[in-house]
Amino acid sequence: MAAFDDDHPPRADLINDCVHCGFCLPTCPTYALWGEEMDSPRGRIHLMSQGLGGEPLSDSMVTHFDRCLGCLACVTACPSGVRYDTLIADTRQQVERRHPRPLRDRALRAAIFALFPYPRRLRLLRGPLRAYQASGLRRLVGRTGLARHAPTLAMMESLAPTLSRPVRLPERIPPRGPRRAVVGMLTGCVQSAFFPDVNAATARVLAAEGCEVLIPRTQGCCGALSVHAGRRSEARAFARALIDAFSGGDLGHRDLDHRDLDYLVVNAAGCGSSLKEYGELLADDPAYAERAAALSARVRDLSELLVELGPVAPRHPLPVTVAYHDACHLAHGQGVRAQPRALLRAIPDLELREIADPELCCGSAGVWNLLNPEPARQLGERKARDVLATGARLLVTANPGCLMQIAAAVRRLGSATGDSTTGRCSAAGDSSATGGVAIGLAHTAQVLDASIRGLPVDALG
């Protein structure tokens, strides 16, 4: 049986754009890990073309597709403009529909997708996790070698950040000073459950820069995780619901229509890139196509919007060295690299340092780290080492997944050097230590927030 059916197979014309030059290889995290062609973009494209040529969707072929993090570094690197993003998305949904997975694998995927896209369920998980952390069980798990037996469980455990108090944001936040724009704000699943501080900071920064911020409570998952995993119909359902959330209901004192929004602001890179693709995702849905495209056109990453608007709120000095990590779905997915750096550089006394191999993914990649714990651990540690090598005091990035992933890796490096107790992680105010080297972690929004509010550096860790 041929690998693909007629429902959106990877397109031959896009495959043929690949001239086999290999320029994408060094930026691919799986090639960096294993040095094997079939786990490189060029190799995966080759496998797709084999599939079109009649080769079956074998276990090994699926494995190589599954191992792709979807980080899209290869899209940035490719001089021939190969649309690997489209190719892998088409391939993934074929795999999900057509490839029977082993039971264990299916169960794991089902569990993950029953949990992550649902902020409420994630929030429920907070209780047990907090108890678990407080009880010192975490250290016990580490010592008993649970990691060896249940890598995914161990990975989930290691990723879970130290939790801070939940924050409930109002549905409408008025601008400070004259109104410059009306913006909707996406709170995200993981972001709102685990990093409520980031959302609070985002809202404050927006308001300080003259935005009226609208945060509909009815919003759910944007579908990013599903779309990246090839669960296309699930993703479409999420997308429709989100479009509805931003175009209806009574928000505070006004009715919301998506046309009222100048922008829809996103502070999580993965969500941003998938929202920007709603137009394509729902192109063949007559009821939603037009609204999806219109909404996509208004989506901005927080840093993108702030640079577009230009600053009005004065920045206070923040004397700290910062290493900025490019989240894949921001840098490769949305091409947003310069804006966050410019915003950070504009903060007085803040020194920005570059991390080696900035294009390389940290290994978080949505839920990839849960499905591929061991390689994710290696990528995370590689990134953590490069981050620590900058000597910066604070690591800043714009994606909750990256923050959790790198924090966990920094913590592991720390325990590897005999210091396992000081590692703790929450979005802000965290400081993970590695044998004397400590680094704090923060979202771009939090750094800007601290500078605008004139908070001390300590507030960031």
Residues lying near ligand SF4 in the complex (CB under 6 A) are found at: 18-24, 27-30, 41-42, 44-45, 68-74, 77-78, 80, 82, 84
Which of 78, 147, 243, 398 is close enough to bind another protein by CB under 8 A? 78
Q: Closest CB to another protein among 221 and 361?
A: 361
Which of 54, 81, 136, 310 is close enough to bind another protein by CB under 8 A? 81
Compute the half-sphere exposure of residue 66: CA atoms within 13 Å on the CB side of its CA. Answer: 19
State the binding partner of 43 from another protein, ligand SF4, none, CB within 5 to 8 A by kind.
another protein
Least Cβ distance, residue 60 to ligand SF4 (angstroms): 16
The SS3 assignment for 213 reads strand
The amino acid at residue 49 is S
Total residues contacting another protein by CB under 8 A comes to: 29
Are 140 and 207 in contact by the 8 Å Cβ rule? The answer is: no
The amino acid at residue 357 is D
Which of 79, 145, 310, 436 is close enough to bind another protein by CB under 8 A? 79
Q: Closest CB to ligand SF4 among 92 and 258?
A: 92
Q: Closest CB to ligand SF4 among 19 and 297?
A: 19
State the binding partner of 68 from another protein, ligand SF4, none, CB within 5 to 8 A by kind.
ligand SF4
Measured between alpha carbons, how far is 260 from 257 in angstroms, rounded to an integer? 5
Q: Which stretch binds another protein (CB under 8 A): 21-29, 133-141, 213-221, 230-238?
A: 21-29
Helix (H) or strand (E) holding 134: helix 119-134
The SS3 assignment for 323 reads strand
Residue 395's alpha-carbon distances to 231, 341, 436, in angstroms, are 32, 12, 16
Q: Closest CB to another protein among 249 and 391?
A: 391
Work out whether 37 is an interface residue with another protein (CB under 8 A).
yes
Measured between alpha carbons, how far is 188 from 202 in angstroms, rounded to an integer? 12
Work out whether 358 is an interface residue with another protein (CB under 8 A).
no
Measured between alpha carbons, how far is 204 from 198 in angstroms, rounded to an integer? 10
Work out whether 47 is an interface residue with another protein (CB under 8 A).
yes
Measured between alpha carbons, how far is 188 from 199 in angstroms, rounded to an integer? 9
**Closest C-alpha among 26, 57, 54, 45 to residue 87:** 45
Distance of CA 327 to the CA centre of its chain: 7
Phi and psi for 53 in degrees, rounded to 5?
-80, 5
Q: Which of residues 328-357 bind another protein (CB under 8 A)?
A: 356
State the binding partner of 279 from another protein, ligand SF4, none, CB within 5 to 8 A by kind.
none
Q: Closest CB to another protein among 55 and 260?
A: 55
What's the first-to-final CA gap in the chain, in angstroms? 56
Give the burial class of 225: count Cβ atoms within 10 A of its Cβ; 0-12 exposed, 13-18 middle, 19 or more buried.
buried
Work out whether 379 is an interface residue with another protein (CB under 8 A).
no
State the binding partner of 195 from ligand SF4, another protein, none, CB within 5 to 8 A by kind.
none
Q: Closest CB to another protein among 20 and 165?
A: 20
State the binding partner of 41 from ligand SF4, another protein, none, CB within 5 to 8 A by kind.
ligand SF4
